[in-house]
Amino acid sequence: MAIERTLSIIKPDAVAKNVIGQIYSRFEGAGLKVVASRMAHLSRAEAEGFYAVHKARPFFKDLVEFMISGPVMIQALEGENAIAVNRELMGATNPKEAAAGTIRADFAESIDANAVHGSDAPETAAVEIAYFFPASQVFSR
């Protein structure tokens, strides 16, 4: 199996709920290693740039407003099949449809305030990690 990296964001709702540690425990329990990490309060320009792929979507404005509503915790995760493993841990985008025991089922309120972001493919993971972390701040281990 391939060792991959993925970009994860603990969104403002989950940071406000004080569950950063519980979410990190789930990453570690699934064999994912935190190889880069920092807290940030994103500017509008940073959030718009990060979600540029969704620019034409009706939910884009609300998504950006939500992502700049408070601090977020940003991390790169590394492990076997890290992208799919993280998406499995996260659960469905809409927490009402997320499987029991997933991060979104346990901590998310709504499709907007849905606790976490995770990259969806190797190409987007590489772009998203580089968006937040210079190579010198990613510590492969």
Interface ranges with ligand RTP (CB under 6 A) = 54, 59, 63, 93, 111-112, 114, 117-118, 120
Catalytic residue among 117, 118, 129, 132: 117
User: Using alpha carbons only, how large is the chain's radius of gyration in Å?
Assistant: 14
Structure tokens at 8: 């994860």
Is 54 one of the catalytic residues?
no
Smallest distance from the beta carbon of 56 to ligand RTP, in angstroms? 13
Phi, psi of 17 (to 5 degrees): -80, -5
Smallest distance from the beta carbon of 136 to ligand RTP, in angstroms? 26
Structure tokens at 126: 């590489």
Please report which helix (H) or strand (E) contains residue 118, including its range.
strand 116-118
Question: Which of 66/133 has CB closer to ligand RTP?
Answer: 66
The DSSP annotation for 65-97 comes to HHHTSS-EEEEEEEEETHHHHHHHHH--SSGGG
Smallest distance from the beta carbon of 80 to Mg ion, in angstroms? 21
Is residue 114 marked as binding?
yes
From the list ligand RTP, Mg ion, none, pick the one residue 106 interacts with, judged by a Cβ distance below 5 to 8 Å according to partner type. Answer: none
- Kindly list the catalytic residues: 117
